[in-house]
Amino acid sequence: MPLNSTQQHKPHHFRHSLISLSDIQRIQKMVSKVKRSPVKSIKDLRNSNNHSNRRWRRKTSIKNVVAASSAGLATIRRRITKLFFKIAHLSTSAHKKKATSYNILKKTKTTTDEHEQLDNIRRTLLFDDTTTLLPPSFSLRKTVFLDLDETLVHSHPSPPPERFDFVVRPVIGGEPMDFYVLKRPGVDEFLESLAAKYEVVVFTAALKEYASMVLDRLDRNRFISHRLYRDSCRNIDGKLVKDLNETGRDLKRVVIVDDNPNSFSNQPDNAILIRPFVDDIFDRELWKLKSFFNESDCCECDDMRDAVKHYVTVQQRR
């Protein structure tokens, strides 16, 4: 088809200014990319900014909390340290005050009366009461005081008698002496029977140097609880008296057996006068006393003096 005149005569520069096909395709690709990526609005931009701000604020608040906690712990630590220092100071001050008070008490002087009271307490606790001849007794048993010579035994100095059971050799006044001792019939059985129900005490006016040796041989089985010698007697008008008031025992609960009336002159109602023993092998006095002390009326009576009175009355009638 032939071109018209207009088409045939277009200038050359105009043909070169037209958009080519390749350019159009490039533009279409760019447009399609733009369409696929969403365009953010102002609102979206604001929301995005707020979200980032919140994250920054959250991080900032956590840091602040950690910092505040560290500061609080440091404060608590400082206060606890101060508190411990105060407690240590107070305890040290109190210790010094106590020590000072103790020193003051140590320097305080005690009076004579206080010393005497303390001595009495010590003697009581140690059972060493010098006001009584015997230590305190916490037993419910009654007490029987027995004389030694002519009551339980008879002693004879040299030369030796016809009959004797053993010999003791004490030193008296710096001189050795021989004593030949004869036991009263029934003495062994009497001591054993008596010790089963009573507190047995030997109260003798003999010297300890002699009497202790005799008792060691006589009382092999230790039936005798205590021993009192001449130094425990009272000298009244030249007579040796065995004062039961000084023994520390209740007079309602004691009996004394002796062959010498002078020995129990202060408490005659508590005494049983026994016939003196010399060498009578048929003597029966201890057998009588054994029966008396084993009687239920004697063991259970409230006042031993009543039982003694009854026994003495019965013996006098015979």
Which active-site residues does the annotation give? 147, 149
* Side chain identity at residue 47, one-letter code: N
Q: DSSP letters of 183-194? A: EPTTHHHHHHHH
The size of the chain, in residues, is 318
Q: Which residue has the tokens 């609960």?
A: 253
Nearest to 261 by CA among 247, 249, 277, 272: 272
CA of 311: how far to CAs of 23, 203, 275, in Å?
Answer: 162, 21, 14
CA of 258: how far to CAs of 11, 34, 246, 255, 286, in Å?
Answer: 182, 147, 17, 10, 12
b/e per residue 44-60 (b: at least 16 CB within 10 A): eeeeeeeeeeeeeeeee
